[in-house]
Amino acid sequence: MEKLIGEIKGYQVVGKHSAVKTCFWLKKSLKDEGYCYKQKFYGINSHRCLQMTPALVCNQYCIHCWRPLELLKKFEGWDEPEFIVEESIKAQHRLLSGFHGNPKVNKVKLREAYKPNQVAISLVGEPTLYPKLPELIDEFKKRGFTTFLVSNGTKPEVIEVCEPTQLYISLIAYNEESHVALNRPLENMWDRIVKSLEILKNKSRSVVRLTLIKNLNMSEKALKCFSELLSRASPNFVEVKAYMFVGSSRFRLKYENMPEHVEVKNFAEKLAKSIDYNVVDESEASRVVLLSYES
């Protein structure tokens, strides 16, 4: 295939190894049809959120990943943080330009969207593989952005030195065996993930996001192991979220692997009780339940 991946998937490739993509909820928010659960839980504005990655590379090929793995291409040399931030904002502007002709779009929100103030550093790949990630976060902060960093936790030495507004560790595995089976890592990195979880207790604002896959990580054994891991991490929040049968994950999993919201909530309530957290919010549309030790 000779076409640019960006033309096929709606991604804007930035420089040699970064990318931007407008998310589903930004589009919904622009049309006043709803907003991301992160807006409900944490107060960010979905229409002003820039979703990007500084690393179109990954060290795991997770079974539930909806991202197009063909984006993970070889390159030489790393771009500078200032370049990535500037070009990511320009890429967001290019993506937003297509909304001007839509009569359903809220024009006030669209104008605001051109001045993003929140960045979700996730999208595709593993951002901690970018060697200047702390500097990238600082560069976004200089421009008035709040920063949400989502990581698979395989680079604890990077997790330790990054100070985003909110730090996520994303989990589907609950022990070493499930790590190998579900994360499909290039090498076994379970000990590194556990170390990253332990680092969270020293962070000012942290989240562990559990992605639940029916018949794979929702057993009583998984619940017990997740409880033990969360007790070691002591995050501010736990997001208990359903795997969604979308994107490339459909080639590896089945529709039946996507739990209903009621199943997610039932698992979340059991988990909350086992770690002495509270259920503080939920979003049925996104099949996610939020736990916190704060009431």
Number of H helices, E strands in the chain: 11, 10
- Domain check: are 76 and 187 in the same one? no
Task: Give me the CATH number covering residue 114.
Answer: 3.20.20.70
Residue 283 domain boundaries: 152-295
Task: Report d(CA 211, CA 226) in Å as an integer.
Answer: 11
Residue 3, pLDDT > 70, answer no
| Structure confidence by residue, pLDDT tens digits, 23-74 | 999 999 999 999 999 999 999 999 999 999 999 999 999 999 887 766 667 7
pLDDT for res 8:
47
Q: In the β-sheet with 49-53, what is the strand arrangement from edge to edge?
A: 12-14, 18-20, 49-53, 118-121, 146-151, 166-171, 206-212, 237-242, 288-292, 278-283
| Structure confidence by residue, pLDDT tens digits, 67-117 | 776 666 778 899 999 999 999 999 999 999 999 989 999 999 999 999 999
- Domain check: are 164 and 53 in the same one? no
- Domain check: are 138 and 156 in the same one? no
- Domain check: are 17 and 141 in the same one? yes
- Domain total in the chain: 2
Please provide the average confidence, as pLDDT, over all residues in the chain. Answer: 93
Alpha-carbon torsion (72, 73, 76, 82), positive or negative: negative
- Domain check: are 115 and 166 in the same one? no
Confidence of residue 6 (pLDDT cuts 50, 70, 90): very low
Residue 147, pLDDT > 60, answer yes
Task: Report d(CA 177, CA 163) in Å as an integer.
Answer: 31
- Domain check: are 49 and 162 in the same one? no
